[in-house]
Amino acid sequence: MNQEASRDIPVERSTFKRPSVYLRICLLITALGAYWRFTHLGGDSFWIDELFTLRTIQHGLTAIFQVRDHPPFFYLLAWLSTKILGDGEWALRLPSAVAGVLTLPLIALWGKTINRPRAGLWAALLLANLPFHLRYSQEARHYALLMLLATASYLLLYLALERKRLSWWLAYALAMVLALYTHYSVVNLLAAQIIVIAGWMIVRIRKGSLREAGYPILAAVLLLILYLPWLDNIWQVLAGNTSGASVEGVPPPAPLAAWLGEALTAFGFGNGPLPYLVAGLYLFGLVVWIKRREWETLAIVITASVVPFLLIDAFRVAREVYAKYVIYMLPAYLLAAGVGVESLLKAAKQWAGSRGQWVYAIGSALVALGLIAATWTPLQNEHEYVERDWRGLANYLANVAEDGDVVLSATIDFDYDAFNRGGIALPYYLAKENRDCVILEGSSMRLEDARRLASLNVQVWGVLLDRFDSVPLDDSTMEVRAFPGSLYLVRLRTQEGTTLKRAIQLYEKVLPLAENALPQCPLYQGLATLYAVDGDTYRAEQMLASQRETCPDLTSGYLRYTLPSAIYHNGLETSLRSGDHSEAQRFATEILKLDPKDKEALDLLTVENLLQRFEMGQATVRDEAAPEPVQIRRYTMPHNGDWGDVLQIHPPSSVSYHLQLPQAPTALHFRAAMAPESWDWGGDGSTFIVSVDDGSGKIELFRQHTDNDPPNRDWHSYLISLADYTGKTITLTLATEPGPLGDATGDWAGWETPRIIRQVPEAS
């Protein structure tokens, strides 16, 4: 509160006759909060985000500073804790628990600093019993520490504004630097506080206090200097999470109402009437501050409560709607609610007249005890809640499995094993049980994983996650055991055949349980991979086709090239061994779609190599009007190293071949590109033309212009059907013409190894 207002408006001074009473109450609240935050701290298994914390710090200090998505401060504290106390759940979560407990006296101190000590104690009591804060005080992530530092920033900013000393401004800058090194979302709080600071500076300048107005600038300089090593990281992360930017696994920006509703529920003790009661107390606290003209505190709290939401909406932040991402707003929200509680109790005291002191004391006790009673069960439920019981599952598995057994994890109700990740959790917990199993993430099966299975002869276990329904694997062929957190351990009762066959049988049982496309597609991929390694090309193709049909947008390099290439090469080898040349040619055709230079497929399909014919002089060349003769060159794409030997036909030129086509259908196969050195010449590219004359007149089969614009600076693969000319003698002409502007400058147009190939049913 500013000094001018304090002379005119009576404010609440400490009504505690002895400071020790205030201190004892504060310690009792802190002890209550500590009880909840340290009880059961190591009782639950790590969940996936905590395991990311553990993996990061296990790689050492260098890895901590290489993580771009999260700043390093919390990781440093977690690393220090585990170095001293080991890598168990209790030790890793200890920094969060300590931060959660320290926030309680700090928010009480903030209330005392603004001359509202009782309001600060009420805010601390609300926080001590808030299940939302308890959850993140017992999670090995950044959020409890973020709230502690946010609370420190509120307190220090108020002191800097009120006491107008450089030391307080520098202390505020240090608190904000640590907050920024804890979580990027605090940038929204910084923006809110900058608004308050800017208004304060304007007032100081108008009053002629230029020196005081310069203190925030010095604090900003200190902040920038200390945060300079991380500026590039925060810029990249913010750019990737704003303006509707797409983040893998994260839905598009949510409406503002969703964020408000989530914060209202989480900050207000869950569902039911309590969130609205707390919100009412918050609004009443604001009214009290307005009435008392406590403008500095009011400005700090209102901007902290409003500006972050406006920024999230304005910049279309692409994040899941979780209140933990705005946890830095909670101290201001609860302090205002604490003012509301204290003001209502004081109003009751005044209304009661001579018995007011008793009414106030009894009312305070009833409110405090009522809050503790109302939140006792929700807080206990928070302790009993199990995110994923990896520890219990691993303990059971260690007793029934053998070293070397295979464990496949998969999710049947969500995307790509995102909340299962047995490949991360199980190695940690099985190592604690001294059990060495082969852990494979079934939702991201790769060829090397399947080949590993083919070399083993052990039992196969499945770990499934179904967060919403019980896994209905109740047929006589399967054993199912459930664990808290929607985890299920499954096993074939009869372990027949090879390990690879057992894995296939398990996949075949699990796939029908997948509830939608998101879990189905990785399971299709996994089963296609297993079939491919098992040599069952037909079923592998079926599974790959199902994956592409169900999830056409999932086009990783593995799905586009690696897996289909393995399937088609297996099919080619099998067909050649069995003498099925028709099927072999089909597989070779599919291989060429993936790799136009695949030697085995080309050797099988090629009828005529037109590049070789040109070298042997078996072609008619028309290049008199061209600035350069037709020649053979090698083009290499600089961005990926993809090379090819080309027939370079500078426009206007052509090369014709006199060919006798076989009785079976054929097609012309080639890749076209402009030479990389032509890209910067400024020409408008070349037009590639294919025509055929079977004696009844020339017919143009293909015309395609390729310019030098960046999107076209690559190879372009083409397949031109010649089925209409089966068994005929034809003249096939490859020609190039200048682009639409008629400019042939630097038009080095290349036809990469044009060939006549056999039987291409899908040629166009």
CA distance 530 to 542: 12
Domain locations along the chain: 3-384, 390-528, 605-758
Please identify every stretch of the chain with a pLDDT value under 50, giving residue numbers as ranges: 1-14, 416-417, 763-764
**Phi and psi at residue 226, in whole multiples of 5°?**
-70, -25
- DSSP output for 105-131: HHHHHHHHHTT-HHHHHHHHHHHHT-H
* Structure confidence at residue 472 (pLDDT): 64
CA distance 542 to 547: 9
Cα distances (angstroms) measured from residue 112 to each of 118, 160, 169, 177: 7, 15, 19, 25
Q: What is the assigned CATH class of domain 605-758?
A: mainly beta
Q: What is the spatial order of strands in the sheet that 487-492 belongs to? A: 438-441, 406-411, 460-465, 487-492, 478-483
Site of tokens 């209330």: 111
- pTM, two decimals, is 0.81
CA distance 447 to 55: 25
Residues 122/337, Cβ–Cβ less than 8 Å:
yes
* Structure confidence at residue 3 (pLDDT): 41
* Structure confidence at residue 760 (pLDDT): 55
CA distance 108 to 30: 10
Copy the structure tokens of residue 452. 């590993």
Q: What is the DSSP letter of 696?
A: S
Residues 520/548, Cβ–Cβ less than 8 Å:
no
Nearest to 35 by CA among 379, 387, 381: 379
CA distance 108 to 174: 21
Could you give the count of Cα atoms lying within 13 Å of 39 in the half-sphere of its Cβ? 13
CA distance 235 to 224: 13
654-690 burial string, b = 16+ CB within 10 Å, else e?
bbbbebebeeebbbbbbbbbbbbebbeeebbbbbbbb
Nearest to 723 by CA among 670, 669, 753, 761: 761
* Structure confidence at residue 764 (pLDDT): 41
* Partner residues linked to 700 by β-bridges: 691
* Partner residues linked to 702 by β-bridges: 690
Q: Which amino acid makes up residue 136?
A: Y
Nearest to 637 by CA among 671, 662, 613: 671
Residues 666/763, Cβ–Cβ less than 8 Å:
no
Q: Which amino acid makes up residue 743?
A: D
- DSSP output for 340-353: HHHHHHHHHHHHHG
CA distance 33 to 375: 12
Nearest to 653 by CA among 684, 689, 683, 706: 689
Nearest to 593 by CA among 704, 519, 667, 542: 667
* Partner residues linked to 439 by β-bridges: 407
Copy the structure tokens of residue 114. 């603004």
